[in-house]
A = this chain, B = another copy of it.
Amino acid sequence: MADLSYISTLPSANQILFQAKIAKKYTFADVAEKIGRSETWVAAAFYGNMPLAEEDISALVKVLDIDPAAIESISPSVNFQPDRAAKMEMPPHDPTIYRLYEIVLVYGYAFKSIIAEKFGDGIMSAICFTSKIDKEVDAEGTWVKITLRGKFLPYIKY
């Protein structure tokens, strides 16, 4: 997968990760399985939004046949920290990403209300958070199922 406009705005180390993945013809699911991480986290890391630990780097270097020096700039050994979503444009022009944005528009208050009723006053953490994407096929067609799971954090009363 390579949407070239956006990727070309990322730091060069991330571009190298994408090129190596393309050369190997691996999907994110392939990479994730080979390095023992989940698919969405790996994709986010390739896009520069999640930091790779030393063991992730070692695994990627091996799995993708990358020169370690080429991606050293995003390694914890140089104290790398991602500048998350720095180049992401909002509202998103891309239709696939826009649909997620539209769900926030249309369901934002509904989700907030249900969280309030089920959990109390607080938020679903986007930090202490995991996600996954599944494919489901039934008689009506093919479905994308995105699961977002974050810790409930109640507001402190002080």
- Residues of A whose CB lies within 8 Å of any CB of B are 1-6, 8-11, 13, 22, 25, 27-29, 37-41, 43-44, 46-51, 53, 73-74, 78-119, 121-131, 133, 135-136, 140-158
Interface pair B108/A136, CB less than 8 Å apart: no
Known contacts A28-B117, A116-B81, A130-B156; is-contact A95 B106 (Cβ 8 Å)? yes
Known contacts A28-B117, A136-B149, A144-B119; is-contact A92 B111 (Cβ 8 Å)? no
Which single member of B86, B103, B124, B157 contacts A96 (CB below 8 Å)? B124
Question: DSSP class of A's interface residues: helix, strand, loop or mixed?
Answer: mixed
Interface pair A149/B157, CB less than 8 Å apart: no
Known contacts A82-B3, A104-B104; is-contact A151 B157 (Cβ 8 Å)? no
Which single member of B105, B115, B126 contacts A106 (CB below 8 Å)? B126
Collect the chain B residues with CB atoms within 8 Å of residue A152's CB: 135, 141-144
